[in-house]
Every structure is written in C-alpha cells, then in structure tokens.
Structure 1
Amino acid sequence: MPPFKMNLKKVNLSLGQPFTIARGTKETVDNVVVELVSEGMVGYGEAAPNRRYDEDARTVVAYLERLGSDLFQDLEVPEELEDRIERASEEIGLPVMQSAKAALEMAWLDWWGKKQDQPLWELWGISADHTPPTSYTIGLDKIDVMQQKVEAAVGYPILKVKLGTGRDQQIIEGIREVTNRKIRVDANEGWTSLDEAKHQIEFLAQQDIEFVEQPMPASRHREMRSLKAWSPLPLVADESFMGHEDLDILKEMFDAINIKLSKIGSLMKGRRVLKRAHSKEMKVMVGCMIESSLGIAGAALLGAEADYVDLDGNLLIDRDPFQGLVLDDRKCLHLGAAPGLGITPVH
C-alpha cells in the first residue's frame, strides 16, 4: 500500500452570534482538519478540542505532528485503528489527546470508505441512513434575546436550552411564553448543591421539560445518586461521562449518557459504548461541540443508532467549510449514499 500523507489545517469557525453557556461565551472556535491522502483519495477528519479537557488547536496539531502518518502503513481493517493510535502515543511519550485521536480515526475511516466505494454507514451495517431529529441549542442571553432565538428557530421541533444561572426559572418561563415545543435543558454543571438541583428540577417538571443534562458538577457522585433516585425527570450525563466510566456505576446517577467524539476519542469505541449502554437499559444521546459539517457527519454515524441527537454545531456557525450533510424537514441528519462520510470541502 502506498504511504499516506497527512495534512493538518487549523480552521477558525465564526459563530453566527455569541454562544454562552454557564462556563463562558464564545464568538469563534478553532478546530483542526486532518487530511489523509493515499492512492489518489483524501480522507477527512475534524478535531473539536475543548479547553475543559486541556486541549486546543495548537496542542492538537503538535500532537498529530508527533504521531505522523506512518502508523497507517499497511492498515487494512478498522479494528486495528484504535490500538495503533494508542501505541503510537505511548511511543512518543504523550497521553492520548481524544479530539485529535477522533479526527485521525475519522479521516482514515473516511478514506477507507472511499477505497471500498461505499458509505461508512453501510460498511458498518447501520440499519438507518438518518438520525433522530436533532435539537437546536439556545445559548444563554437576555431573556428577550433568547425568546428571539427561539422564534428564529421556528423549524426545529426540539430545543435545547442552556441553564446554570441565577435566573433559570425566569428563562424557562420566558421561553414558554413564545413556544410549546419540546425542550431539553442543559445546566452544564451549573447547580452546585443538591437542594438547588432539586428546586430547579421540580420547577422544570412543571414546565413540560423532556430531560435535564448534567445538572451538577461531575465530581458530585453522592449528590447525583440522591438526585437520580428522587428526580421526576430523566438525567443525562455529559461532563460526568468521558467514555471510560463503569456504566453500572454511572447508571446509579443518570438515565442516559451523552457521547461526544471529542470526549470519547473514537467512532469505533463510541459505537461499542452505545451498544453497551443500550444493553444496560440506559439511553444514549450523541452530542457535539461547535464543529463543521465534517465533524457532525462523523457523529451522525453514531447518532443513527442513538435515542437522541444534539448535532447542531454546524448550524451555529456562519460559513461551513464542508458540505454534503443533509438535514431534512423533520431535522433528521441523513448519512447519504456517497462513499466514506460523504463530506467534501467547500471551494
């Protein structure tokens, strides 16, 4: 097999409007695109690093440059991919950088699908070529501005509302003034005591909220067990779930997990964990960071087998550098019939 050439490109994604959660505000995001070139074909992957996990575009590029493309030499089956990347990390003496690993794996799988001339979802035996409807995220802002955002997102049947402030109930009341659509809430670890979390969830249960994502800080295991035993609403683990946790223990605290490629570091592992969660009667949401259509297409592979998806990262940016991902009228993402991920750069 001819050698691979690896190209790395930082991409600056500008948000259509400032995006605020309980931890801060973003107006732009720097991601990294990986191109793997061999036999006249290019495989694409995207890293969406997050400072919460001690990653950024600069450290991702440095890590991938150290890894190099030789680890793909004579690689023919996806099952060997994870081990190769982890062994290569050990050899260079660096811990695995999850978003970078996910991008590298995504790029090779995209290339492999193109080599087979088949879409990845068919090669993987995924029964559906589309995801459930994605939610659309309403970031924190003044209540009247959040109402305007809700009204602008009129075509989306599911809203995900960011909370974790001192005015959470007023925000939900304001949003309920302008819509009766399905709402999911993400507190982003913003409720720091059990009493506060119970108070907020008791209110939310009266507002026809579907579920609550990450109500308390990830370190509050004892409080989360108590909260789950009491909660009238399902609870979803995001920051509490990185991918290595014991699902039997996590099930004592949450009803569902949120799988993000930037956290779990692997499409292959993500699919295994998804199936394991379902076997334990936990539900699965597939989520994202702020990403282009490339990163979202990778996550949509997992989303096709998930219970919920929150894959709107590409919808929040101004100019998407990739194309090919289809969002239908129901707001389901379609994986498409093109080989690999089916995503191409916008020229």
Structure 2
Amino acid sequence: MSHFKLSWQIIPLQLKELFTISRGSKSEVGNVFISLSKNGYTGYGEAAPNIRYQETSDKVVEYIEAIPAGFFEDVHTPDELFEKFDDIEHEPVQSARVALEMAWLDWWGKSQEQPLWKLWDYGSAEGPVTSFTIGIDTPEKMQQKILDAPEYSLYKIKLGSGDDREIITAIREVTSKPLRVDANEGWVTLGQAKREIAFLASQNVELIEQPMPAADLEKMKELSKWSPLPLVADESFTGDENLEEIAEAFHVINIKLMKIGSLVRARKVLEQARELGLKVMIGCMIESSLANAAGSLLALKANYADQDGHLLINNDPFSGLRINEKGAVLLSDNPGLGVQKLA
C-alpha cells in the first residue's frame, strides 16, 4: 500500500521591480512550496507568509514539520481535511495550513482526473477581471509603470504615502482606465480619509481597500456610511472577525488565502458574506501562478479578483494560469489546480 510523501522547499521569488506599499518595500519574498505525492500523482501547494500577520517562512516550515506521520492517509474529501487540521498540536500558521490543503486539493483533483473548478461545480473556468498592482513610487515612475503595462484593463494603485493626489493626477495623465486604490491602512484620521476619498470619487476609481488602520473599526463604520465609493476590508478581515460587524464598516471583504488559511473555509465565508449583503474580492500576497490559481478558483464565485502576484515576479516556478483578452482570470482544463511545475 502506497503512502503520501510530503516534501517542501523555500524558493525566493524575485519581484520585477521594488514593490512599495505604505508599510515598506520588498524586492524578494521567500515562499514555501509543498509537494504531496501518492499513487503516481503529485499535488502542489504554496505558502506566502506575511510579516503583517506575524508569519515567516521559518514558521511555515516549523508548522509543516509538526504534521504527524500519516496525516493525509484517511482523508477522502475536502471537508474531512478541513476538520482534521484542528488536531495538529501546533500554533496555527495560516499560510502553511492553506499550502498543505492546496497541495492535497491539487492531488485530489489530479487523482480524479478533473480540474477542481469542475469538481466544485463552478460551471465556468473564467472569473472576474483582475487588477494589476502599481506599487508606490514617484509620480513619474508610477506613470511609467502604467505605460509599461498596457495589456491590463484595470490597475490597482497603492497609496498612503503622502503624495496620493499627485500620484493619481499623474496617472490620469497617461490612462483613463478604471482604477482601484489600496491605502494599506495609510490614512490615519477620519478627516484625512474623507478628503482623499472625496478626491478619488472624481477620478474614475472603482473602490478603495483598507483606507484606515484595522484597529479603527468604529471610525470605519462612520466612514462607510459616508463614503461615495465602496470600501474594502483587507487588513481588517483575516477570517476570524464577526462578519456582521465587518458589514457595518465595509461594503466588500478581501479574502486572501494566506490570511484565512483554507480554501474550504473561504468558500463558506464567501457564502456568508453574500447573505449579509457584502461583496467579495479574492486577493493575494506576492505569490506564484500556483497560489494565484487557487485564489482564482475562489474568484470564480466572487465579485472582484486581485490575482496578479504571479505577474509581479520574474521567476515564477509554475505556469498555467492565464489572463484572457478581457483581463479576466482563466483557469486551465487540466486536472487539479491546472498549473504545471516548471523544471
């Protein structure tokens, strides 16, 4: 009788350009890639830990090493796997947990010789249009980043630097395409947030992610009632929060696999959000095509997609996730997550 073989490695993903948000800059991330093999099939998973949530690649590896022998052997369905993670005697590391689940789901789909989007009865492999992120830089350099990426139909602009209006004005000199804005908690007072949102409302901006710090939920409730633009909970929503309270402060939640720790759980939260009248965005960290394919799977049932992590790196270890001519994420018909590991 064959048994599952689990292995992993840390691969530094190199960003095409220095990536800056309101909290800092990075040129490389150390993501952890998992291989799970049995019966001639290999599933792959990816952890993209983020220090904002106190996670590192070392913590991911520690969590993986805490998985008991035979952990996957008696698992037959995604729900069974989801419940089994509660038995692991280690502090939860959400990016590690979702990477392990991702690897099993990819293996499961391959063993069934079906893409996951068909196994989950999603009906179509095409999701929403994804945004392409423009990190904070000088207004002139951000203009050039837009000009260097004409193939994308929707841009997400990182703000919160203090030069926000100059940046948007400069971008509007080179494109009239719709924009999304992500302040990454960069506006610290209610007055500042209102002033910036009032300006952005005149600039063909579609929505605004996390205008104020996650700790300022009461202020966000007031801002949400006033705002002429939809506000998206990113840092304010990791998955454990009370969704009813989040719905008082935001119009949209951004579900990121690396925060919520499970595709299975994310599917359930997506449905709960809809019942509360919340729209849903499926976002990402800096990730390869592997994790972005998993996110794009969820995005098939979401209102918005932000699945561009693989577009921001120059050494993607996987291929197979496509952006079609409309700018929408498009999953493969290949089994599992539909991506292939490059040599």
Q: Which residue of 2 aligns with 1:45?
A: 45
TM-score, normalised to structure 1, is 0.97
- State how 1:63-82 maps to structure 2 within 5 Å: 63-82=63-82
Residues 1:196 and 2:221 are matched in the alignment: no
Q: Which residue of 2 aligns with 1:224?
A: 220
The alpha carbon displacement at 1:136 in A equals 0.3
1:253 pairs with one of 229, 242, 249: 249
Residues 1:330 and 2:326 are matched in the alignment: yes
In the alignment, the residues of structure 2 paired with residue 125 and residue 245 of structure 1 have an alpha-carbon distance, to the nearest angstrom, of 28
Aligned-pair RMSD on alpha carbons?
Answer: 0.9
Residues 1:116 and 2:122 are matched in the alignment: no
In the alignment, the residues of structure 1 paired with residue 16 and residue 292 of structure 2 have an alpha-carbon distance, to the nearest angstrom, of 17
In the alignment, the residues of structure 2 paired with residue 58 and residue 143 of structure 1 have an alpha-carbon distance, to the nearest angstrom, of 36
* Secondary structure at 2:236 match in 1: coil
* Secondary structure at 1:109 match in 2: helix
The alpha carbon displacement at 1:246 in A equals 1.6
The one-letter code of the counterpart of 2:275 is: S
* Secondary structure at 1:32 match in 2: strand
Residues 1:156 and 2:149 are matched in the alignment: no
The alpha carbon displacement at 1:172 in A equals 0.5
CA contact (8 A) 1:110 1:120 kept: yes
The alpha carbon displacement at 1:324 in A equals 1.4
The alpha carbon displacement at 1:68 in A equals 4.0
May I ask how many residue pairs the two structures share in their alignment?
343
The alpha carbon displacement at 1:281 in A equals 1.4
In the alignment, the residues of structure 2 paired with residue 298 and residue 40 of structure 1 have an alpha-carbon distance, to the nearest angstrom, of 22
Q: Which residue of 2 aligns with 1:29?
A: 29
The alpha carbon displacement at 1:69 in A equals 4.8
- State how 1:115-194 maps to structure 2 within 5 Å: 115-194=111-190
For structure 2, the 5+ residue unaligned runs are: none
Q: 1:130 to 1:68 in 2, by over 3 A?
A: farther
In the alignment, the residues of structure 1 paired with residue 85 and residue 144 of structure 2 have an alpha-carbon distance, to the nearest angstrom, of 45
In the alignment, the residues of structure 1 paired with residue 69 and residue 301 of structure 2 have an alpha-carbon distance, to the nearest angstrom, of 31
In the alignment, the residues of structure 1 paired with residue 75 and residue 81 of structure 2 have an alpha-carbon distance, to the nearest angstrom, of 8
CA contact (8 A) 1:86 1:96 kept: no
Deviates more, 1:320-329 or 1:173-182: 320-329
The alpha carbon displacement at 1:180 in A equals 0.5
The one-letter code of the counterpart of 1:3 is: H
The alpha carbon displacement at 1:64 in A equals 0.4
Indicate the percent of aligned positions where both proteins have the same amino acid. 50
For structure 1, the 5+ residue unaligned runs are: none
Q: Which residue of 2 aligns with 1:309?
A: 305
Q: Which residue of 2 aligns with 1:288?
A: 284
Q: 1:331 to 1:18 in 2, by over 3 A?
A: same
The one-letter code of the counterpart of 1:136 is: F
The alpha carbon displacement at 1:2 in A equals 2.6
Q: Which residue of 1 aligns with 2:93?
A: 97
The alpha carbon displacement at 1:16 in A equals 0.5
